[in-house]
Chain A
Amino acid sequence: NAGVMQNPRHLVRRRGQEARLRCSPMKGHSHVYWYRQLPEEGLKFMVYLQKENIIDESGMPKERFSAEFPKEGPSILRIQQVVRGDSAAYFCASSPADRGGDTQYFGPGTRLTVL
């Protein structure tokens, strides 16, 4: 049973380029969460999605960041016009249902470096 999959594992972008991070939830899971981990900081919630719906985006920066979880295919976190401050590890987690968050399983992360 494959776990949460994220790709790419490492992504290098120059300032001003776009970054696309992909997350495939565990089989049978329909809820996806994105978190960001900055150096020397804990994990910070960004967005919570179900298929074709954004449930909670209270942690998303107001500009340049967007997320989607289409009916078919992986969830995508998109960062437009990246800046050096976007360099971080981005983690995706999935759960089978909104049962209190106790069953959020994390992927290995995508490490974004902005040059």
Chain B
Amino acid sequence: QKEVEQDPGPLSVPEGAIVSLNCTYSNSAFQYFMWYRQYSRKGPELLMYTYSSGNKEDGRFTAQVDKSSKYISLFIRDSQPSDSATYLCAMRSGANSKLTFGKGITLSVRP
């Protein structure tokens, strides 16, 4: 079993839709959870960061962490064509600094 599993894609939605992206993990030591956005041929850009369980909202983006279920989610409201990118979940334990990533899901928002 992989440490981090991310829903396979690709995902295509119409503009204005609510998008839900999800990851599950197996390592109970993970405490820090992140979502990165990566445009084609670019480096990952940090979108959201959450420590332990809970919700965090930033504009149209909401990150949720449920440590009891080992499940994290990213919600995008009122999706825009500019949101079209690959979204990567990432996480780490408190013991070291390496990030463990999901494989990523490619989102396309149709105008």
Chain A residues packing against B (C-beta within 8 Å): 4, 31, 33, 35, 40-45, 48, 55-56, 58-59, 91, 95, 98, 100-109, 111
Contact = CB atoms under 8 A, between A and B. Distances in A.
Nearest to A111: B41
A91 B44 CA distance: 9
Contact of A101 (B6, B32, B42, B44): B32
A109 B41 CA distance: 8
B88 A100 contact: no
A106 B96 CA distance: 18
Given A42-B88, A42-B103, A42-B104, A101 B43 contact: no
Given A41-B103, A104-B97, 16 more contacts: A35-B99, A42-B102, A45-B100, A48-B96, A98-B97, A100-B94, A101-B32, A101-B97, A101-B98, A103-B46, A104-B46, A105-B46, A106-B43, A106-B44, A109-B42, A111-B41
Contacts, number: 72
B50 to A, nearest CB: 9
